Structure 1
Amino acid sequence: MGFLQNGRGLASYLVMPNTFQARRFIVLGSMVSLLLLIALWNQFSVDGPTRPAGTRLAQGPSTPTGKRPNPFTNPLDEVRQTPASIRQDPLCSFHPDTSKIAVVMKTGATESFARLPTQFMTTLRCIPDYLVFSDRKETIAGIQVMDTLDAVLPKAMEGNADFDLYRVQASCAIDQGPCTSALDRAEMGWNLDKYKNIHMAEKTWKMLPDKDCVALLGDIAFAHGGSGYLMSRAAMKDLIGGHPGLANRYDEDMHNYCCGDAVFAKAVRDTIDVNVTGVWPTINGEKPFTLPYGDSHWCHPIATMHHMSPEEISTFWEFETQFYADEAAEASRKDADKFVPSPSSPRISIENSSPPDFFPGATTGTT
């Protein structure tokens, strides 16, 4: 009976809030709840003095430990990879060391957002030092894309229809798609692209002069420059370091040429008397699904290919990454028989399929 009476008394407090006792009960309950919430917040807050050991904020690679990311950080801050950061990436741990090579990517603003993200996630992911040049300065996923053409002589641009696309892109206040949708972007991009090559080489030498080799690549197909070409540090030093302002010497006459890579080859020949050396099939004009697998390609390394779509680039990079991992796992077994005698009888009239035009000094026939 006492329990029922107490129950009725509690109900009277809740049902009759106008009484003094009910109001006092509600106020006291609210204060207790508030104090409890404050105590819980102090206990588990990420910045609280009593934060449990071992808990911390989720962090990006550039966020200092224990600090909240600054939402007002300059969005144009360049994201740079380092050999240390690449070694920490499990997908890069078995890739070859390319720290002596500067990889230079050329693109255009009409294609950059469609093409570059795949390159950043695959081909360039395990490259310590790379530069990306375009015909417009922009940032893609925090990675700086530099304007190659900002050093072209103004008088070479003035009244030059080749720079119509460049001017439209520079004046566009929104994303590039709507600004250039009514233009013939393929043709105008082709005309503009040829002005980039020598300026790109000049900028690369200024930014990365200590690399043993420079690989200049294209992410879209402009002539055969899409497969890229290689320059040694000695050649870059003689060409760019020894001839300041070289690119500007070709600016005004560039509209008379079709292709920037051809003009670059001409500049190398005319300036330092070095001719282009063909290294096909290592630098190849095909892609994995059109490559003519046969005697002409066997036993040759592949450095670059051509006309690969983003999906094909991703697929091939996954294969390459798995290949390097498998090679590392098999290394100990491959070396196990190096010091084990393996005598065999002489073999007569063996065709070793190594023609001299591919392997200088090689012979065919009996071994």
Structure 2
Amino acid sequence: MRVLLGTVSLLFLLYTLSTTSFSSSILSRRAYNSWTDNPYLLRNDHASGDVCAAFPKHAFDSIQVVLKIGAAEVDSKLPAHLRTVSSCVPDLLIFSDFEEDIGRHHLYDALANLQQPYRSANPDFDIYEKIRQQRSAGKPLSRSSDGWKLDKYKFFPMMEMVWDMRQHKKWFLFIELDTYVVWDNLFRWLSHQDPSQALYVGSPVWPKDKPVFAHGGSGIILSQGTLHTLASKGQKMRVDGLPGSHQFGQDLREECCGDEVLAKVLSSHGIFLKGYWPMINGEKATTVRFGKNEQWCEPVITLHHLSEDDLDDMWHWEMKRHGSLKPLLFEELFLHIEPSLAPQRTNWTNLSEDIRITSPDLPGQSLEECARACSDETKCYQYQYRKDTCDLSYTFRLGYSQHFDYISDQEVTSGWILERIAEFKKYNSPCREARWVHSNP
């Protein structure tokens, strides 16, 4: 067994040197700005209990926030977002697949003007009609509804409608119900950008043989220049002058996602994504990979995949940051989840993934041997074990409860080398400056 683990450690070292994660190698070479702007949010105002008093009145004057949802989420997920992330947004536009009023908010039907050629022979729009019938009758919709299949059809109509409604705005931020926005960092970052330029910004996804696109759930930012270009092209394709009456000539039935097709159309007009991962991020605090070359001294602008409880927790924690003049960095985000780390947790995945050790010929391999393999490899911060499989990682994250691995149906146990994480913090904290990374691509 010792020979095996020694070999594994050597292979791990070679793997680390030759194939260090793409994101790490790219990030370590990326240039960045170290702006030292004053915060936009007035921290001392939180003492009054009115968190929105911390937002300057002019904060959203140039930014249009657009929330894309499904009708099945109105009763279940929308309330959490409206009391947290979007609670202080004065002019929030919400687009769904059914028009209705929820409290003081009007929900627009993004698909209302879409013409028949885009609906005919498309079973997805049978779902749309069913939603309209049920919602009109006051019947609740199940969260497991097939309404998610309509999501990709909303992108272009929604953007055309938004332009017609708010074309005077300089920036347009499109988010979803599980998106979290650190407004103070967003305001700081946008203050250094030029809205007259054709900017298309987000967290990049790199599909094979297709344009790189901004992941919708992480948030998509379009400048006034970009949305003007898109709307101008779409104006020529409108039916009876109606915004949202077409899909820019795209047949979306066989397409995966609307965010991917958006990149396709924008690229055809010479507008390409500027990717700002990790600042615009597809993870939440418990699943972020923390590390020197991953996510540490970079500011957090958005997070994704937050549940309703996650939104409440994150919002209340962020709003209690006392008098901090610094932007919220991943370093500080780690402090929020660090108390939940332990030497070992059963029925838990910490998402270790950098190298996998399997030993089908050694059924006696144990959790203890997996922990020792991580200990023997000096770059390893955490491990995850299930029968006959040991995963190691050279970044650290919390993860989440998982009683059985969904593929192997085996109990999962995770562990962290807390002394190494403490040593990492000793040499890498506090961050001397915020790293506002340049775009990639």
TM-score, normalised relative to structure 1:
0.60
Q: How does 1:44-193 map to 2 (within 5 A)?
A: 90-95=50-55, 97-172=59-134, 173-177=136-140, 180-181=141-142, 185=145, 188-193=146-151
CA distance in 2, matches of 1:242, 1:200: 15
Once the 2 structures are TM-superposed, how far is the Cα of residue 310 of structure 1 from its aligned partner?
0.9
SS where residue 302 of structure 2 aligns?
coil
Q: Is the alpha carbon distance of 1:328 and 1:273 closer, same or farther for their aligned partners in structure 2, counting shifts above 3 Å?
A: closer
CA distance in 2, matches of 1:283, 1:360: 12
SS where residue 267 of structure 1 aligns?
helix
Once the 2 structures are TM-superposed, how far is the Cα of residue 155 of structure 1 from its aligned partner?
2.3
CA distance in 2, matches of 1:200, 1:120: 20
**2:275 paired residue number:** 278
State the one-letter code of the partner of 2:295. H
Q: Is the alpha carbon distance of 1:105 and 1:230 closer, same or farther for their aligned partners in structure 2, counting shifts above 3 Å?
A: same
CA distance in 2, matches of 1:196, 1:249: 9
Q: Is the counterpart of residue 305 in structure 1 residue 296 in structure 2?
A: no
- Deviation string 1:222-247 (CA, Å, 9 cap, x unpaired) is x9421121101111111113541376
2:70 and 2:148 in contact (8 A); partners too = no
Of Structure 1 and Structure 2, the greater helix share is in 1
Higher RCO, Cα 8 Å, sep 6+ = 2
CA distance in 2, matches of 1:256, 1:156: 13
CA distance in 2, matches of 1:250, 1:219: 26
State the one-letter code of the partner of 2:228. K
Runs (5+) with no aligned partner, structure 2? 1-44, 180-213, 239-243, 327-426
CA distance in 2, matches of 1:300, 1:159: 47
Could you say which structure has the larger radius of gyration? 1
Once the 2 structures are TM-superposed, how far is the Cα of residue 326 of structure 1 from its aligned partner?
2.3
Q: Is the alpha carbon distance of 1:103 and 1:351 closer, same or farther for their aligned partners in structure 2, counting shifts above 3 Å?
A: closer
State the one-letter code of the partner of 1:145. L
| Partner residue of 1:292 out of 277, 289, 303 | 289
**1:235 paired residue number:** 226
State the one-letter code of the partner of 2:283. E
**2:251 paired residue number:** 253
Q: Please, what is the CA RMSD of the aligned residues?
A: 3.3
State the one-letter code of the partner of 1:309. S
1:103 and 1:131 in contact (8 A); partners too = yes
Q: Is the alpha carbon distance of 1:169 and 1:120 closer, same or farther for their aligned partners in structure 2, counting shifts above 3 Å?
A: same
Q: Is the alpha carbon distance of 1:249 and 1:310 closer, same or farther for their aligned partners in structure 2, counting shifts above 3 Å?
A: closer
Once the 2 structures are TM-superposed, how far is the Cα of residue 358 of structure 1 from its aligned partner?
7.3
TM-score, normalised relative to structure 2:
0.50
Runs (5+) with no aligned partner, structure 1? 1-85, 330-349, 362-367
CA distance in 1, matches of 2:79, 2:178: 13
CA distance in 2, matches of 1:294, 1:175: 49
CA distance in 2, matches of 1:351, 1:161: 54
1:138 and 1:146 in contact (8 A); partners too = yes
Q: Is the alpha carbon distance of 1:328 and 1:169 closer, same or farther for their aligned partners in structure 2, counting shifts above 3 Å?
A: same
Once the 2 structures are TM-superposed, how far is the Cα of residue 128 of structure 1 from its aligned partner?
2.4
CA distance in 2, matches of 1:171, 1:281: 42
1:194 and 1:260 in contact (8 A); partners too = yes
**2:313 paired residue number:** 315
- Deviation string 1:236-278 (CA, Å, 9 cap, x unpaired) is 11111354137614466111211011111111111x2111121
1:135 and 1:147 in contact (8 A); partners too = yes
1:95 and 1:321 in contact (8 A); partners too = no
Q: Is the alpha carbon distance of 1:249 and 1:196 closer, same or farther for their aligned partners in structure 2, counting shifts above 3 Å?
A: closer
State the one-letter code of the partner of 2:281. N
Q: Percent identity between the aligned chains?
A: 31
State the one-letter code of the partner of 2:121. G
1:103 and 1:127 in contact (8 A); partners too = yes
CA distance in 2, matches of 1:250, 1:112: 28
- Deviation string 1:50-97 (CA, Å, 9 cap, x unpaired) is xxxxxxxxxxxxxxxxxxxxxxxxxxxxxxxxxxxx999831122362
